[in-house]
Amino acid sequence: MTYCLALQIDEGLVFAADSRTTAGVDFVSSYRKLFQFQPAADRFFVILTSGSLATSHELLDRLRRDLDAPPELTSLRSVNYLFEAAQYVGRELVAVQAAHATPLRESGADGKATLILGGQIAGRPPALYLIYPEGNYISATPETPFLQLGEFKYGKPVLSRIASGNLSLEDAARLALVSLDATMKSNLSVGPPLELAIYRRDTFNMSQHLILDEDSPLLRTVEKRWDDGMRQAFGRLPRFDWERGDRD
């Protein structure tokens, strides 16, 4: 399984992903799920992948190949709006899945992948899209400034509680780490190293890109402080009527 998420805040975008890939419990390995594209100075894209690894690898190869195509053809270099990038990536995703559909179906697999595409094209604001295996998409909005892929439920409560457009980029990145931490603690198929990427609006470059392995001091401190904080919060919950003492 996988857990990836992205936040869209006023200052820019934050992307985070685990790197565990499983094909059954006895083939567990690490693959990166966060890919950046910077095909021209006026644009920057990040793609997060979940689902079939084969589908997302072929998709990424097609997107890279298309960057060499003449500018009149659609590519991440030629699109004028970010939603056109989402449409284009969605079409390529459908095409990759269709190319292998029959033999996959005969093996009982479907080869589906789901993606998050985020980035910015100069003159327009940054944006985030979740692209479904069917090629259509939804975007992040001010009311729901985050999108998630894969094993999303464990890490959602803290996002619902804290995510908002006025967080700083660094706070949004910390929130992404806490959401990943909750997921890793609950589901073995989501695991480190974690990738964390920060895009500051109008820079057209990745501001920060961290790869945090299990022993990362930052990750350990985040885990420790979050755990301590949860326990303190728990200790401050109100007592029931029938309890004695001074804790409320």
HSE, CB side, 13 Å, CA atoms: give it for residue 49. Answer: 25
> With CB under 8 A as the contact rule, which of the stretches 8-16, 64-72, 85-93, 149-157 interacts with its own copies?
149-157
User: Where are the strands (E) in the chain, listed by range?
Assistant: 3-9, 12-17, 20-22, 28-30, 34-40, 43-51, 113-121, 127-131, 137-139, 146-150, 194-200, 208-212
Element at 224 (helix H, strand E): helix 217-235
Q: Which is nearer to its own copies, 101 or 162 (CB)?
A: 162
Which among 28, 29, 3 has a CA at the least distance from the CA of 16? 3
Distance (Å, rounded) from C-alpha 213 to C-alpha 232?
27
Q: Is residue 144 near its own copies by the rule CB under 8 A?
A: no
Q: How far is the CB of 46 from its own copies (least distance, A)?
A: 18
Which among 184, 183, 178, 162 has a CA at the least distance from the CA of 222? 178
Q: How far is the CB of 234 from its own copies (least distance, A)?
A: 6
- Would you state the structure tokens that stand for residue 208, as one six-digit string? 């920060």
Q: Is residue 211 near its own copies by the rule CB under 8 A?
A: no
Q: Which is nearer to its own copies, 93 or 182 (CB)?
A: 182
**How many residues touch its own copies (CB under 8 A)?**
42
Give 32-82 as a DSSP string. --EEEEEEETTEEEEEEEEE-HHHHHHHHHHHHHHTTS-TTS-STTT-SSH
**Binder to its own copies among 80, 185, 203, 205 (CB under 8 A)?**
185
Q: How far is the CB of 185 from its own copies (least distance, A)?
A: 5
Q: Is residue 208 near its own copies by the rule CB under 8 A?
A: yes
Q: Which is nearer to its own copies, 69 or 230 (CB)?
A: 230
Q: Which is nearer to its own copies, 124 or 247 (CB)?
A: 247
Measured from the Cβ of residue 31, the count of other Cβ atoms closer than 10 Å reads 13
Q: How far is the CB of 242 from its own copies (least distance, A)?
A: 7
- Binding flags for its own copies, 163-182, as an x/- string (CB under 8 A): -------xx-xxx-xx---x
Q: How far is the CB of 221 from its own copies (least distance, A)?
A: 4
Q: Is residue 162 near its own copies by the rule CB under 8 A?
A: yes
Q: Which is nearer to its own copies, 72 or 236 (CB)?
A: 236
- Would you state the structure tokens that stand for residue 120, as one six-digit string? 């910015």
Measured from the Cβ of residue 56, the count of other Cβ atoms closer than 10 Å reads 23
Q: How far is the CB of 248 from its own copies (least distance, A)?
A: 8
* Binding positions for its own copies, rule: CB under 8 A: 153-158, 160-162, 170-171, 173-175, 177-178, 182-183, 185-186, 208, 218, 221-222, 225-234, 236-240, 242-243, 248
